[in-house]
Chain A
Amino acid sequence: MSADPWRRILDEVTGVAGVRGALIVSSEDGLVVAEAAMASLETADVAALAAGLASRAGRVARVAGASAPTSVRLTAERGSVIAVAGDAQLWLVAITDPSAELGRLRILLGDLAATLG
């Protein structure tokens, strides 16, 4: 997939109210592949930690006898991070503030992540 479809994906995610940033992350390296985010967001760090979190979640799932996780959601007082697995070892990650509608966002991310790779 070329950079333009990625740009469209990211624009759609950041178009949702409450989303502060959207990343496409390489799960193996924890590196940003594409991003659209507010300047205050440390996207490289988010990518690294989100990929690390997804990797740990995968290990927990394996130990528990479950299949590989398709999404990881971290919710805190001042916002959330939602990561959804796409194809080709890419994850679509959204960083939100507390006002975001997480349910609707999760569905959107799932639909978009399926087109990655």
Chain B
Amino acid sequence: MRVLEPWLADPLAELLRESSARLALVMTSSGQVIAQHGFTRSLDVMAAAALGAGILATTGELARVVGSGRGFGAVVHQGSAQGVWLAGFDTPRGRWIGLVVFGRESSVGLVRMFFERFADTVTLVAPPVTAVREVLAEGFERELDASLRALFGRS
């Protein structure tokens, strides 16, 4: 498991355990991964998160077109061997997205049920954001220049 915010660990573990899903990602609306748990070595996590965020954004437009003004709560992609559940949920930290991959040992119904509980738990237990002091050290422009020169200079 990898979590950027330690308080997410227990709710995420419970989601995977109770739903018998294979892996779960939590990300911001723009696809930045906040937490991951499960067989995450089996896929490119960052790509999956970015694509998942894009899919939800696209279906939001579809919802608008078909007159479902509030959007679709969740999107399910069902394959022959496994499925993917994608849903957005509001948290004190902003709009987040959950991506859950599940196989035959689970089901859409179970994932839905425990994902909703996960979302409710996150809303309840998210600690307030603490103040941040000194966001960046001095000299960052020099370091940025050096980094980009090194990156673009090699090829």
* Contact between A55 and B107, CB atoms less than 8 A apart: yes
Q: What is the minimal beta-carbon distance from B15 to any residue of chain A, in angstroms? A: 13
**Contact A29 to B108, CB < 8 A, known contacts A44-B113, A45-B113:** yes
Interface 1/0 per residue, B13-30 and A, CB below 8 Å: 000000010000000000
Residue in chain A with minimal CB distance to B20: A52
**Contact across chains for A30 and B109 when beta carbons are under 8 A apart:** yes
Interface residue ranges of B91-146 to A (CB < 8 Å): 104-110, 112-113
Chain A interfacial positions (CB closer than 8 Å to B): 25-26, 28-31, 44-45, 47-49, 51-52, 55
Give every chain A residue within 8 A of B105 (Cβ-Cβ).
55
Kindly report which residue of chain A lies nearest to residue B114, judged by CB atoms.
A48
Give 7 nearest A-B pairs by CB, closest first. Answer: A30-B109, A48-B109, A30-B107, A29-B108, A48-B113, A48-B110, A31-B109
Question: Cα distance A30–B83 when bound, in Å?
Answer: 13
Q: Which of A48, A51, A55 has the most C-beta atoms of chain B within 10 angstroms of its own C-beta? A: A48
Interface centre among A25, A30, A44, A49 (most CB of B within 10 A): A30
